[in-house]
């Protein structure tokens, strides 16, 4: 892409191929920095993303040193534009210090959801070179095309792991997560807990108000559960009116805090669906790795058994494996 190269076409085709071959965002961000180092050798650059209301430098290139891990950005970048060609801003990025950057948006939105929110950042001095600036804008367009491709792939992947009724993860994803976690937990001696809960007398809702209202109630319950979990926790619909909550790096004893919070908040909450007020309670059981087992099957069975003991004994209560 630079004029000093013998021809522009081979360089441009190589850039497009190397960027578009990325199939996940971390790989893409690393590829962007590697190419930037070759294309814009005199200028510091970075990829900044926003996730969970925080800003991160995914990779940076200060003094020809590539960083392949996300670092938190302490400056508030909320005022940086998410559209338009670019915005100039003075920021202090980790490992790079105070810099004046051009922020080129690489945002992807679809169905009113922001899938990717970030910027390709390049030192503002590039504006003094019109030819170089044209190359930068072309490079950014290639980046955006790659972001769109990966975001669509991620969306397809998500559709295969999301339960359509509740909006939570499905059972297939539960087993994938647990298999990976058990392997890693055994290697690094970490722990996790698993909560099973089943809505009490949910059949009465279907019999009284119909299955449509029942299905909508399952979605409301699922979203309610998410609101009462930590960011790292995962919630799944196991089947019917059964749900599972995965608590990473959480002992069985500490999991009790989450169980009690879910129990208290769910039983006193009133859901209103099509003007119909509905209150539900649930029976809970939970287990912990490695205390209650060292395989996915053992951990699931222990939590399930504890939940069914509550269901048979009294309902609307909880029990630890």
Per-residue pLDDT of the chain (321 residues; tens, 9 = 90+): 544 443 443 367 788 888 888 888 878 888 888 888 788 888 888 899 887 678 888 777 665 566 656 788 888 888 888 888 899 999 888 877 888 999 999 887 776 666 678 899 999 999 999 999 999 999 999 999 998 888 888 777 777 888 889 889 999 899 989 998 888 776 667 899 999 999 999 999 999 999 999 999 999 999 999 999 988 899 999 989 999 999 998 999 999 999 999 999 999 999 999 999 999 999 999 999 999 988 999 999 999 999 999 999 999 999 999
Domain count, the chain: 2
Task: Please check whether residue 166 lies inside any domain of the structure.
Answer: no
Structure confidence at residue 180 (pLDDT)? 86
Task: Please check whether residue 164 lies inside any domain of the structure.
Answer: no
Q: What are the beta bridge partners of residue 195?
A: 245, 286
Question: Which range of residues forms the domain containing residue 148?
Answer: 8-159
- Both 143 and 120 in one domain: the answer is yes
Structure confidence at residue 317 (pLDDT)? 92
Closest Cα to residue 283, out of 321, 246, 311, 241?
311
Structure confidence at residue 56 (pLDDT)? 87
Structure confidence at residue 26 (pLDDT)? 79
- Both 113 and 221 in one domain: the answer is no
- Both 178 and 224 in one domain: the answer is yes
Structure confidence at residue 54 (pLDDT)? 83
Structure confidence at residue 3 (pLDDT)? 43
Domain finish residue from 106, 139, 159: 159
């Amino acid at each position: 892409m630079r004029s000093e190269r013998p021809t522009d076409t081979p360089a441009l085709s190589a850039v497009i191929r190397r960027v578009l071959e990325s199939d996940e965002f971390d790989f893409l961000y690393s590829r962007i920095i590697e190419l930037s180092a070759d294309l814009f050798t005199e200028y510091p650059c970075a990829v900044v993303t926003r996730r969970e209301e925080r800003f991160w430098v995914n990779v940076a290139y200060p003094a020809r040193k590539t960083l392949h891990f996300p670092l938190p950005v302490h400056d508030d970048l909320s005022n940086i534009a998410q559209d338009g060609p670019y915005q100039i801003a003075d920021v202090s990025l980790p490992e790079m210090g105070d810099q004046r950057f051009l922020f080129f948006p690489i945002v992807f939105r679809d169905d009113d959801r922001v899938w990717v929110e970030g910027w390709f950042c390049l030192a503002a001095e590039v504006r003094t070179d019109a030819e170089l600036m044209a190359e930068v804008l072309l490079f950014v367009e290639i980046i955006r095309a790659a972001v769109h491709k990966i975001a669509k792939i991620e969306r397809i992947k998500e559709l295969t792991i999301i339960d359509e009724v509740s909006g939570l993860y499905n059972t297939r994803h539960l087993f994938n997560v647990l298999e990976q976690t058990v392997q890693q937990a055994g290697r690094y001696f970490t722990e996790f807990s698993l909560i099973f809960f089943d809505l009490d007398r949910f059949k009465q809702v279907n019999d009284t108000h119909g299955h449509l209202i029942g299905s909508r109630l399952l979605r409301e319950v699922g979203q309610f559960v998410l609101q009462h979990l930590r960011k790292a926790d995962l919630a799944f619909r196991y089947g019917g009116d059964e749900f599972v909550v995965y608590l990473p790096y959480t002992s069985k004893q500490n999991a009790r805090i989450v169980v009690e919070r879910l129990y208290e908040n769910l039983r006193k909450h009133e859901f209103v669906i099509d003007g119909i007020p509905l209150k539900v309670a649930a029976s809970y059981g939970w287990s912990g790795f490695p205390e209650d087992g060292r395989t996915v099957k053992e951990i699931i069975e222990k939590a399930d058994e504890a939940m069914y003991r509550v269901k048979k004994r009294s309902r609307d209560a909880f029990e630890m494996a």
